[in-house]
A and B are shown apart, each in its own frame.
Chain A
Amino acid sequence: MMGVDLSTLGGLSDTAALFGRGLVITLELLVVSTVLAMVLAVPLAVARLSANPFFRWPAFAYSAFFRGTPLLVQIFLFYYGLSQFPWIRQSIAWPFLRDAFPCAQVVLTLNMVAYVAEVVRGGIMAVPSGEKEAALSVGMGPFLMYRRIILPRAFRLMLPALSNEVAIQLKSTSLACTITLLDVTGVGRRLAAASYSTEPLIVAGVIYMILAFLIGRVFKLAEARLSFQRRA
């Protein structure tokens, strides 16, 4: 835990420094979970679309659980709930799950995977079937077809939806402060409690607005770059 000496509050530079550190934590949570989720979402989406029920059903159950329950419950289930089992406390994953920061990363990732997999699934289904047939007819195996034809095509189709998911994930990271992390919301809460005022929370809100705006711009740029073939 970072020590916050509340007696030194009041100076503007201290407040800025605290929000700066909070911003770093928020961004770390956002970037790491988003990157991991995008990678893991692909196999989950493919499993959801599989004809084999041994892949399809577990993928469906995973998706239903993580999309159908509050993120707060998921965070508490992992951070507090798993400690109930001695075999988990003795496992190699425990040092990881015991600490709030990696635990928040894990849950935020697991949660986002379920949502992004739905987007990827939609993207895969939106690839014209003629392109899949063409890939198969030139002798590509399913793995090669996914890697060279379907996924690159699907990725471009799903960029707008992904941009949405990242904006939502930014908001989700604010729940990390419920397990003691001092992200932007956590810092806002601390300072608000110390000063009996709402202003620090509003400052936190402004920071989130700026971040959301920047995420939107980054994705607009990515879309413009990736659609060059269509315009050419």
Chain B
Amino acid sequence: MALFGYEAQLLQGILVTLEVAVASAVFGVLLGILGAAAKLSRHAWISRPVGAVTDLLRGIPEFLILLICYFGLTNLLTGWFGTRVDISPFAGGVFALSIVFGAYASEAFRGAFLGVSAGQLEAAHAFGMRPLQVFFRIHLPQAWRLALPSLNNQWQNVIKDSSLVSIVGLEDLMRKAQIGAQVTKHPFNFYIAAALVYLLLLTLSNPLFNLLERRAGRGLRRR
């Protein structure tokens, strides 16, 4: 399939797509853990608003969230500093995709934290572990295993959703394909190529997650 010498451009785009997706996934996981902790909080003034915000983020189209973040942050910062502040499409995109990822991940982690048996935590406390030790050594590693399948789903979604950032100007795979399509007048070639690369990225991440899941479950007896 002819891409008229745009292969290197597309390759650069793939790297940008992966950068956005990885950055959003990392921030998203951290936000998800924090969000889950907040939702499980005993204090309603913490759990209620966080629950409402994550519901909001899951109910509004990702594309609209991206636009709100990108233009909203620009307007907000411009208002604060008094001069025009432009945030980069990369930063705006990662911000938007991270909070969406975090909203879904917080639900996954909430279930996962509840899924770790109370006896495990009591045993850890009985050993004299401090609360943070219990969290990092006992609670989180086991919850991580339960949250992974859902995080795999979110990872696939964030790769696909990263294509939306091309609309605010990020030079990712989608934008590079668009440029190639417009210049060469062969849009089908470029869009089908982009589609196949996305498909490949998603397919390749499956064995990666299998590996992570096997590692996360290494303490369990094989059935």
A→B interface (CB under 8 Å): 64-65, 68-74, 76-77, 80-85, 167, 170-175, 178, 185, 188-189, 192, 196-198, 201-202, 204-205, 208-209, 212-213
Contacts and interface: CB of A to CB of B under 8 A. Distances in A.
Contacts of A174: 61, 63-64
* B interface majority secondary structure: helix
Given A174-B64, A188-B67, A70 B59 contact: no
Contact of B195 (A74, A192, A201): A74
Contacts of A213: 59
B106 interface: no
A196 B159 CA distance: 30
B47 interface: no
B181 A178 contact: no
Contact of A81 (B62, B187, B199): B187
A76 to B, nearest CB: 5
Nearest to A75: B191
A85 B188 contact: yes
A77 B187 CA distance: 7
A175 B64 CA distance: 9
A104 to B, nearest CB: 14
Contact of A204 (B64, B72, B159): B64
B174 A202 contact: no
Contacts of B186: 84
Interface stretch (B7-15, B35-43, B114-122, B161-169): B161-169
Most buried by B among A68, A171, A204: A68
Contacts of A71: 160
B194 interface: yes
A205 B64 contact: yes
Nearest to B72: A198
A81 B63 contact: no
Most buried by B among A69, A174, A178, A202: A69
B75 A197 contact: yes
Most buried by B among A70, A185, A189: A70
Contacts of A171: 60-63
Nearest to A170: B61
B68 interface: yes
B121 to A, nearest CB: 32
B71 A192 contact: yes
Nearest to A82: B188
Contacts of A196: 75
B191 to A, nearest CB: 4
A198 B71 contact: yes
A173 B59 CA distance: 13
Contact of A70 (B163, B185, B190, B192): B163
A77 B189 CA distance: 9
Contacts of B185: 84
Given A65-B195, A77-B191, 13 more contacts: A69-B196, A69-B199, A72-B174, A74-B195, A76-B178, A76-B187, A81-B188, A82-B188, A84-B189, A174-B63, A196-B75, A201-B64, A205-B60
A209 B60 contact: yes
A68 B72 contact: no
B202 interface: yes
A76 B63 CA distance: 15
B188 A84 contact: yes
Contacts of A68: 198-199, 202-203
